[in-house]
């Protein structure tokens, strides 16, 4: 087989969905029908192959994205299972970075829920071509066409219906394929492994004709060839239709829609066919770009074996005490036993093993090329979001933006032996999860964990106790703030000490001034070039930046300030970097004291969906919580209220919304920015 043929055969896909839409069940069925797993694990029995962490089994939700490779009709499909809870959007983003295509799974009863919208928009942002699978057609209240309409309204997607369901709720028996114009019926006795393809039932023929007509109309709108043939009423063969759909999907113009019931084993094989037919191979997506770490010059990473290596670490997991890094190769080859270079850390690393992943089972391989997504053992220092390349061809792939942790809890070890374990365990968690931050409270000595949301921290503290047998008392969740200053202020400090027989001297005057929100921190020097040795200016900058890591009010990071070095005094000898770093840090603290420091609240973007009747109460409640209403959009009998609200006002919101709307309101929220609360 030619190399390009091999790349053509790869489909790197993710399954994205709202919590409970059925991603795990769909993935399970995919593994079953592709022959990699011989038993269907039901999520509600806590047996699913992908959900292998105890916590996930107990909660029935998928927390960690696991990648798994399977084969379908000669193609390699690599599935990344992504989490649906908004606390874990970072995991979703990480996976989206390395995918070439995605399947959105929707529940036919719940339709497109706010969190599916969030994930869908993230996929849009990364320009990921998508398909949709409308699941749970066997459930009471299932509404296939209603869900398709919601895709138009809520996701602003252009759905292309390729199948219509036959029967609904407990009568759901199969689908009509609108391209082949055939009816597919699944055999319940073989868990859906066998199915028959035959003529469309007479009473469904008219519907099928109408939806096939619609399919052509939709396709003709985005494809000139189809348009011409359609207008001229010429016959269009199926291969041409498939080809046009593939092009439109990859060009992000249309979203092919399929349907079924994963739990009842219906609809999965055509979904696999469609993944292969319509979603892109690594050759079909634009080559990603990186930059040269020094010159900043743009470098393209074509999916070619001969090109220099460019690979991205998108996840790090600690499994059985070993660090396993998940890597996507874009260009070149990754070879077991070889050295790779991490330019972000200026470090060489050795790859000891490359593993193809099947949920928690692994297969060793010697070498992989472009398009591969594999687990790698042996990387010591590299972490999530970093690039691996060849030392003689350094490249930095774009950094991923991480979300701010906004909630924290204090944890206290229960016994002395727990105390010893705690630090090690936390180190492991931090290696896996860049959104988790840990610091020690200087006053109480407690460890403070900060994360993306209450559930995120709950899962971490519960894994700590169960997987690592480290028992802790967990405090109440607290909001994580930032600190900044209101007014410009100056600080001066001298550090003059003899330590271990050496004199250290440094004297610094600097000014802090407020910057607009979201600008971050900056450092500048106003000194003439020869006034202070460059190494000492660097030492001042280091002191400033370190000092800004914890503010004077409550020890939260200080943001949005500019520090300018105004003056520095040296002596004949003893002008050390250490002294200038410490003096700078002391000067910053003085300036913070003078600058009217204040707290910045995490402000959340909140979206509430309520039936019309309850709108007044819900808006009143949001106002009472110091929220700002940004938009109100009516939609099919409900109102979508978009608001920004300080996180500290959102504790207990779900209970209060439930009682204000007789349980009919739903909401989602996401971190927006730090600002005055
Ligand atoms: N009736 C019915 N139930 C289904 C179907 N697919 C999944 N379920 C059930 O819906 C629940 C959620 O399914 P999961 O597969 O865990 O959903 P998920 O989207 O992976 O959820 P998270 O992992 O929590 O994000 C489970 O109880 C499944 O058994 C379906 O086609 N029909």
CA pair distance 240, 274, nearest whole angstrom: 15
CA dihedral in degrees (571, 577, 582, 583; nearest 10)?
Answer: 30
Mean pLDDT across 320-340: 90
Same domain, 657 and 543: no
Mean pLDDT across 495-516: 94
Which atom of ligand 1 is closest in space to residue 262's alpha carbon? 31
We report the CATH number of the domain holding residue 460 as 3.30.70.870
| Contact 29 CB / ligand 1 (< 6 Å) | no
Q: Residue holding tokens 């959340």?
A: 604
| pLDDT value at residue 64 | 46
135 labeled part of a ligand binding site: yes
Task: Point out the domain boundary residue: 527, 562, 594.
Answer: 594
Asked if the structure places residue 357 within a domain, the reply is: yes
| Contact 25 CB / ligand 1 (< 6 Å) | yes
Asked if the structure places residue 623 within a domain, the reply is: yes
| Contact 60 CB / ligand 1 (< 6 Å) | yes
Same domain, 201 and 252: yes
CA pair distance 334, 7, nearest whole angstrom: 15
| pLDDT value at residue 613 | 86
**pLDDT over 70 at 89, yes or no:** no
- pLDDT digits over 255-278, tens only? 999 999 999 999 999 999 999 999
Same domain, 260 and 136: yes
**pLDDT over 60 at 52, yes or no:** no
Asked if the structure places residue 400 within a domain, the reply is: no
The lowest-confidence range among 61-65, 357-361, 628-632, 641-645 is 61-65
We report the CATH number of the domain holding residue 607 as 3.30.70.240
| pLDDT value at residue 42 | 54
218 labeled part of a ligand binding site: no
| Cβ-Cβ contacts under 8 Å for 119 (sequence gap 6 or more) | 16, 17, 18, 82, 84, 89, 92, 104
Question: Ligand 1: which of 81, 95, 119, 263 to mutate, most ligand atoms within 8 Å of CB?
Answer: 263
Q: 641 alpha carbon to ligand 1 midpoint, in Å?
A: 28
Higher pLDDT, 90 or 432: 432
pLDDT cut 90: percent of the chain above it: 53
| pLDDT value at residue 61 | 43
CA pair distance 540, 525, nearest whole angstrom: 9
Same domain, 499 and 538: yes
Residue 6 burial (C-beta neighbours within 10 Å; 0-12, 13-18, 19+): middle
- pLDDT digits over 7-34, tens only? 899 999 988 887 788 888 898 888 888 8
Same domain, 562 and 413: no
Query: At 508, is the pLDDT very low, low, confident or very high (cuts 50, 70, 90)?
Result: very high
For residue 609, the enclosing domain spans 601-673
pTM over 0.95: no
Same domain, 69 and 147: yes
Which atom of ligand 1 is closest in space to residue 63's alpha carbon? 23
**pLDDT over 50 at 181, yes or no:** yes
Locate all alpha helices (DSSP H) within 156-237, ordered by sequence.
205-222, 224-231
Same domain, 376 and 422: no
Task: Point out the domain boundary residue: 227, 242, 276.
Answer: 276
Task: Point out the domain boundary residue: 453, 473, 493.
Answer: 473
- pLDDT digits over 417-460, tens only? 888 889 889 988 887 777 788 988 877 888 899 987 777 888 88
Which atom of ligand 1 is closest in space to residue 42's alpha carbon? 29
We report the CATH number of the domain holding residue 492 as 3.30.230.10
Asked if the structure places residue 173 within a domain, the reply is: yes
Asked if the structure places residue 281 within a domain, the reply is: no
Same domain, 487 and 612: no
Higher pLDDT, 247 or 41: 247
Asked if the structure places residue 178 within a domain, the reply is: yes
- pLDDT digits over 244-258, tens only? 999 999 999 999 999
| pLDDT value at residue 115 | 66
Asked if the structure places residue 469 within a domain, the reply is: yes
Same domain, 96 and 206: yes
| pLDDT value at residue 664 | 73
| pLDDT value at residue 63 | 39
Q: What are phi and psi of 269, to 5 degrees?
A: -65, -45
20 labeled part of a ligand binding site: yes
| Contact 138 CB / ligand 1 (< 6 Å) | yes
Same domain, 86 and 192: yes
* Strand boundaries in 536-649, DSSP class E: 561-569, 597-611, 628-635, 638-646
Same domain, 163 and 71: yes
**pLDDT over 70 at 57, yes or no:** no
Q: 49 alpha carbon to ligand 1 midpoint, in Å?
A: 14
| pLDDT value at residue 643 | 96
- pLDDT digits over 588-628, tens only? 999 999 999 999 999 998 888 888 889 999 999 999 999 99
We report the CATH number of the domain holding residue 383 as 2.40.30.10
DSSP lists the bridge partners of residue 334 as 368
Taking CA atoms only, the protein residue closest to ligand 1 atom 25 is: 19
Q: 651 alpha carbon to ligand 1 midpoint, in Å?
A: 28
Closest CA to 31 of 60, 67, 58: 67
Work out the widest C-alpha separation in the chain, in whole angstroms: 100
Same domain, 386 and 326: yes
- pLDDT digits over 378-413, tens only? 998 888 788 999 999 999 986 655 567 888 999 999
- pLDDT digits over 118-173, tens only? 678 778 878 899 999 999 999 999 999 999 999 998 888 999 999 999 998 989 99
Query: At 654, is the pLDDT very low, low, confident or very high (cuts 50, 70, 90)?
Result: confident
We report the CATH number of the domain holding residue 98 as 3.40.50.300
Mean pLDDT of the chain: 87
CA pair distance 468, 423, nearest whole angstrom: 12
Q: How many domains does the chain have?
A: 5
């Amino acid at each position: 087989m030619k190399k390009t043929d091999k790349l053509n055969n790869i489909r790197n896909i993710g399954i994205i969905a709202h919590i409970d839409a059925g991603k795990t069940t769909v993935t399970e069925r995919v593994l079953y029908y592709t022959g990699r797993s011989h038993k269907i694990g039901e999520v509600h029995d806590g047996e699913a192959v992908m959900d292998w962490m105890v916590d996930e089994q107990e909660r029935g939700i998928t927390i960690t994205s696991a990648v798994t490779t399977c084969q379908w009709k000669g193609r390699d499909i690599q599935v990344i299972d992504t989490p649906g809870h908004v606390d874990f959007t970072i995991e979703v983003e990480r996976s989206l970075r390395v995918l070439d295509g995605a399947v959105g799974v929707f529940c036919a009863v719940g339709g497109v829920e706010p969190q599916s919208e969030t994930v869908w928009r993230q996929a849009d942002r990364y320009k990921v071509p998508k398909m949709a699978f409308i699941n749970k057609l066997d459930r009471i209240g299932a509404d296939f066409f209603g869900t398709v309409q919601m895709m138009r309204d809520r996701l602003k997607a252009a759905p292309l219906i390729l199948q219509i369901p036959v029967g609904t709720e407990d009568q759901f028996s199969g689908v009509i394929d609108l391209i082949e114009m055939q009816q597919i019926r699944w055999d319940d006795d073989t868990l859906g492994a066998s199915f028959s393809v035959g003529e469309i039932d007479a009473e469904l023929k008219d519907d099928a004709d109408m939806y096939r007509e619609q399919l052509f109309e939709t396709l003709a709108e985005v494809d000139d060839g189809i348009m011409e043939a359609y207008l001229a009423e010429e016959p269009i063969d199926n291969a041409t239709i498939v080809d046009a759909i593939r092009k439109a999907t990859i060009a992000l113009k249309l979203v092919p829609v399929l349907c079924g019931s994963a739990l009842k084993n219906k609809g999965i094989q055509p979904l696999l066919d469609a993944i292969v037919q319509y979603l892109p191979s690594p050759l079909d997506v634009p080559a990603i770009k990186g930059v040269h770490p020094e010159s900043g010059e743009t470098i393209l990473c074509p999916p070619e074996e001969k090109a220099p290596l460019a690979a991205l670490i998108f996840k790090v997991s600690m499994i059985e005490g070993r660090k396993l890094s998940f890597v996507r190769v874009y260009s070149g080859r990754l070879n077991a036993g070889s050295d790779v270079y991490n330019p972000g850390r200026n470090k060489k690393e050795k790859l000891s093993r490359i593993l193809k992943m099947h949920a928690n089972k692994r297969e060793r391989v010697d070498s992989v090329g472009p398009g591969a997504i594999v687990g790698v053992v042996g990387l010591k220092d590299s972490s999530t979001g970093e690039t691996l390349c060849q030392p003689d061809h350094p490249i930095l792939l774009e950094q991923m933006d991480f979300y701010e942790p906004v909630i924290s809890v204090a944890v206290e070890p229960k016994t002395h032996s727990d105390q010893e374990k705690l630090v090690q365990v936390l180190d492991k968690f931090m290696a896996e999860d860049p959104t988790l931050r840990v610091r020690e409270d200087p006053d109480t000595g407690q460890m403070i964990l900060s994360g993306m949301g209450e559930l995120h921290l709950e899962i971490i503290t519960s894994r700590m106790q169960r997987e690592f047998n480290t028992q802790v008392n967990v405090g109440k969740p607290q909001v994580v703030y930032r600190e900044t200053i209101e007014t410009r202020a100056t600080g001066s400090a001298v550090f003059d000490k003899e330590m271990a027989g050496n004199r250290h001297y440094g004297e610094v005057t600097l000014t802090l001034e407020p910057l607009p929100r979201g600008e971050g921190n900056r450092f500048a020097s106003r000194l003439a070039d020869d006034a202070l040795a460059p190494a000492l200016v660097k030492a001042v900058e280091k002191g400033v930046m370190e000092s800004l890591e914890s503010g004077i009010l409550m020890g939260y990071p200080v943001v949005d300030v500019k520090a300018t070095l105004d003056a520095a005094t040296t002596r004949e000898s003893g002008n050390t970097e250490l002294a200038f770093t410490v003096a700078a840090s002391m000067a910053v603290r003085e300036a913070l004291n003078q600058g009217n420091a204040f707290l910045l609240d995490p402000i959340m973007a909140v979206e509430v969906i309520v039936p019309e009747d309850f709108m007044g109460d819900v808006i009143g409640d949001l106002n009472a919580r110091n929220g700002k209403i940004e938009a109100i959009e009516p939609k099919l009998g409900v109102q979508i209220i978009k608001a920004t609200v300080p996180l500290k006002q959102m504790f207990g919101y779900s209970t209060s919304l439930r009682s204000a709307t007789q349980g009919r309101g739903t909401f989602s929220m996401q971190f927006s920015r730090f600002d005055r609360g």
